[in-house]
Amino acid sequence: MFDKYNDKNFTSPIEGIEMKTLVWGDKSLLSRFHLKKGSLLPKHSHPHEQTGCMLSGKMKLFIEGKEFLTEPGDTWSIPGDVEHWAQVIEDSVAIEVFSPVREDYLPK
């Protein structure tokens, strides 16, 4: 699968957070997130492994109770079923890979 980037078709699953699934295959899915300063991604977990990279901005990422300050270029990998959440400190852009594919993130 190949796709040219455009800034259309983002969804807003949580206030202050926009996301767009970019591409996916049989075993993984790549999404882009635009996160507004002051927004909060609530505590949650899911069975998918989640690996990400901060492209711009700054946020606090909490994984299993440990706090990480993420800045451009920082990366993370969260095992499936591990509780995590985030506080957005500056307008931010991140990309994340989920494996297996998150069916709920596939375009409708």
- Residue-wise pLDDT for 4-54, tens only, equals 999 999 999 899 999 999 999 999 999 999 999 999 999 999 999 999 999
106 pLDDT above the threshold of 90 = yes
* Share above pLDDT 90 across residues of the chain, in percent, rounded to a whole number: 97
This prediction has a pTM of 0.94
Closest to 30 (Cα-Cα) out of 99, 97, 79, 78: 97
Per CATH, which fold does 13-101 belong to?
Jelly Rolls (2.60.120)
Closest to 72 (Cα-Cα) out of 88, 93, 100: 93
CA–CA dist 86, 40 (Å, integer): 6
